[in-house]
Chain A
Amino acid sequence: QLRYRPVLTQDPPLEGQTTASTFVLDQPRCVFEGYGNAVIWLVVALEQATSTFNNTAGPGTAETAFQDFPDPVRAYMTLNATLGSYPCPKPAGDITVLRVGSETSCTRDATRPTCNGPLPGPGPYKVKFLALEGSVPVAETAWSVPIALRTAKPPSKISTSNGHSADMIAITTILSILFAILLAGLVAMLFFWGSDCGGSSTFSKPESVTVRRYNTHHVYDQPAARL
């Protein structure tokens, strides 16, 4: 039993660290030193099945076939590699990750029980690395913390209304007020059309002849006087 606990990749930060059907682990570099003859497998199990997993269950058998996961198989084994794939120390700048769930071609292929296929549900899952020499388990890491995958919501839940912005309210109110003032002004204008309300500030039209008033008086008065 080694002390190492598999972890999701934190460095570099990956957008796809967990998706709906895959997740990304750090490679177990400098963990299995001394087990050069072993084949290192990744065990992916449902969270509740970690206590019942038997290390002697062989990879590629019916009890650990990916195609029957999660029911009735509760834990499957995949991503086998030898220590040579995980050289130690890790060169700086290299991105050393394991993407669990990347093989989509063998999801239903029963001849590939060790397929690294996409996970069927959001989990949560626990993983550990197991080193086998032949079919004898020689080393294992601790189980990881539960890994939960993303669940997708339906787009109908997206709210598309955002209320009204301040600009729109300002435009509406100010324009309404201006329009109301203009209408009031128009009504006042027409109402006072008949009356001589603006008498003191009247001004004359360019060709208006005020003499006309005097003519009216004289013209009508004189004939009456003569008669």
Chain B
Amino acid sequence: MAKSDDCVHILQGLLVFGNVVIGMCGIALTAECIYFVSNPHGLYPLLEATENSDIYAAAWIGIFVGLALFALSILGIIGVIKASRTLLLVYIILMLITFAFEMASCITAATHQDSLTPGFFLKQMLERYQKSEPANNSDSEVTKTWDELMLQNHCCGVLGPSDWQEYTSAFRLTHSDADYPWPRTCCVLDTRGLPVNLDGCKLGVPGYYNSNGCYDAISGQTSTHAWGVAWFGFAILCWAFCVLLGTMFYWSGIEY
């Protein structure tokens, strides 16, 4: 009997520990998602323009899942210590529901990240950048975002300045190819915002224009956020899986 008592105590201790970790991770997940929702990165206008902001849905779900995990972990600790069958049954069922929601959030974040291909940004840039009659506010936001992006990161286009040559664009409709092979923001600018050497920029002389594409800068920003939500949620779920299995085993062993 002593040995099985010890086993019981060890199992109870492990489950309490597991629930404490889940509670803390729930708080961390809530904090991370609140930070992400309230402080979107500068590329949000680009995502919003194409209604491709699923990552924000995933973050909102993450906030509520985090709070639910915290509350349920407390319920779980009480249930384990009191060895109450009903409490633990409620705990297991609610945890499974939370598990399902968090699973949806992780998969949404991962899928969304996959959809941000260079082609996606390229198409949007060509169709909306410097559109002459902006259909709504989001087009001018897209133009402003791209200008800031190209100025801050010293880059041009998505894959390079040749994006503007290989494809027709809204920009091309209002700016002739001979005068503007690529937008002026692709040129190396001086402190007053004017090209250092306009002819050099139009010719494409190395040193007077930005030859690299902006995709690296874009994907760096978006992937940090997406993987923060997706992989952290995945880690929490794996841990919760172990704790839930242990709880089910414990539950089946409680005498009623």
> What residues make up the interface of A, taking CB atoms closer than 8 Å to B?
12-17, 19-22, 24, 95, 97, 99, 101-104, 117-118, 150, 152-165, 167-168, 171-172, 174-176, 178-179, 181-183, 185-186, 188-189, 192, 197-198, 201-206, 208
Contact = CB atoms under 8 A, between A and B. Distances in A.
A99 B168 CA distance: 22
Interface in B81-128: 82-83, 89, 92-93, 96, 99-100, 103, 106-107, 110-111, 113-115, 117, 119-120, 122-123, 126-127
B78 interface: no
A198 B211 CA distance: 70
A171 B236 CA distance: 12
A16 B203 contact: yes
A50 B89 CA distance: 90
Contact of B172 (A95, A152, A181): A152
Interface of B: 4-5, 7-8, 82-83, 89, 92-93, 96, 99-100, 103, 106-107, 110-111, 113-115, 117, 119-120, 122-123, 126-127, 161-162, 165-169, 172, 176-179, 181, 199-200, 202-206, 209, 211, 227, 230-231, 234, 237-238, 241, 244-245, 248, 251-255
Contacts of B204: 14-17
Given A155-B126, A178-B241, A185 B203 contact: no
Contacts of A156: 123
A179 B178 contact: no
Contact of A162 (B7, B117, B162, B253): B117
Given A19-B165, A165-B114, A182-B245, A102 B178 contact: yes
B252 to A, nearest CB: 5
Contacts, number: 170
B128 to A, nearest CB: 10
A182 B241 CA distance: 7
A162 B215 CA distance: 15
A155 B254 contact: no
Nearest to A154: B168
A97 B177 CA distance: 19
Contacts of B126: 155, 158
Contacts of A24: 203
A149 B231 CA distance: 48
B111 A159 contact: no
A109 B7 CA distance: 96
Contacts of B111: 164, 168
A90 B86 CA distance: 92
Contact of A172 (B93, B110, B119, B122): B110
Contacts of A152: 165-168, 172
Nearest to A192: B252
A162 B92 CA distance: 38
27 contacts: A14-B204, A15-B162, A16-B204, A21-B177, A22-B181, A95-B200, A99-B203, A118-B177, A150-B166, A153-B166, A155-B169, A157-B167, A158-B123, A163-B114, A165-B110, A172-B110, A175-B106, A175-B107, A178-B241, A179-B96, A179-B103, A182-B244, A186-B96, A189-B92, A189-B252, A203-B5, A206-B83
Nearest to A175: B103
Nearest to B252: A198
Contacts of A155: 122-123, 126-127, 167-169
B4 A201 contact: yes
